[in-house]
Amino acid sequence: MEQILTKIGIDTDLLNQEQIHTREQTLEIMGISPKTLWKYENQNLIKGTRFKAKKYYTSNDIIECVKSQFNLSQTTEWDNVWE
């Protein structure tokens, strides 16, 4: 899974450093703009949690968002062809 995340541009080193990330870290990890993150939140693809006027995202939330965007949660007959 980590190889796939790296290939699509996810900063896996930063993702794995901590379990909870600030909004700015999440933007850097995913390589997206603030507007795109806002759209993902409005589409319920990722859920942030507020604490003391700051927004935080868990590593699992980020991974689940990426999985839904790239349809990675579903397996197909072609999954093991390249291994």
- 56: phi then psi, degrees, rounded to nearest 5: -130, 150
- Summarize pLDDT for 19-73 with one digit per residue, the tens: 999 999 999 999 999 999 999 999 999 999 999 999 999 999 999 998 888 776 6
Residue 54 phi, psi dihedral angles, 5° rounding: -120, 150
Residue 79: predicted pLDDT: 60
User: What pLDDT score was predicted for residue 4?
Assistant: 80
Instruction: Kindly tell me if the per-residue pLDDT of 82 is higher than 70.
Output: no
Q: What pLDDT is stored for residue 44 in this prediction?
A: 92
List, in order of start, the domains of the chain with CATH numbers. Answer: 2-70 (1.10.1660)
Three-state secondary structure along 36-48? HHHHHHHCCCCCC
